[in-house]
A and B are shown apart, each in its own frame.
Chain A
């Protein structure tokens, strides 16, 4: 069974600085998708970025980028020029590409605080 591990329960960053959130996963599959979701205090789940495992190029969305290391099964999220609105819980998630369930497997989350 696939698992997702986020080893940093809490992180803190100064406004305008850069922070990296870690995520590792375990799978025997070769094709899959990885995601980072943001959950602000409103509790809404917001997709931040996605990565297809078959793509070597790291995904980027504005200030958010990932470092995808397939062999190491690592998928970290880098937030550049941190803003107060980035304060939230961040979840890493895995989804198989086999189409059997479409299930997202989530890590336990990292709570990010942004200091002014």
Chain B
């Protein structure tokens, strides 16, 4: 089954404790992206990758890191999480310029 998977689905952590949210797709897509969803703000892009080893900042990259060492994986790293990073996170993938497929979302709470 073609899909985008994210882990974990739910995470509660404390300020400053490094964490990684994994994202994997099995559709051989070149493009992958991370969004965060906040009430009243919709979804905003954090980082994106057009291909392996090619990443770039989206609209809200502060406090996040990403890497794209393999085509299928695009982890989101929070080196020192803060409460303002409490949000719902989505990973998405697509062939370039085609429909984006979204993962199921990761609900992150930073205390």
Contacts and interface: CB of A to CB of B under 8 A. Distances in A.
Q: Do A and B come from one complex?
A: yes
Interface of A: 4, 42-45, 47, 50, 91, 97, 99, 101-104, 106-109
A108 B42 contact: yes
B42 A103 contact: no
Interface string B88-101: 10101010110110
Contacts of A43: 88, 104-105, 107
24 contacts: A4-B42, A42-B104, A43-B88, A43-B105, A43-B107, A44-B105, A45-B92, A45-B105, A50-B99, A91-B42, A97-B97, A99-B96, A101-B45, A101-B48, A101-B56, A101-B58, A102-B31, A102-B94, A103-B33, A104-B35, A104-B43, A106-B35, A106-B44, A108-B40
Interface of B: 31, 33, 35, 40-45, 48, 50, 56, 58-59, 88, 90, 92, 94, 96-97, 99-100, 102, 104-105, 107
Interface of B is mostly: strand
Contacts of B104: 42-44
A1 B47 CA distance: 17
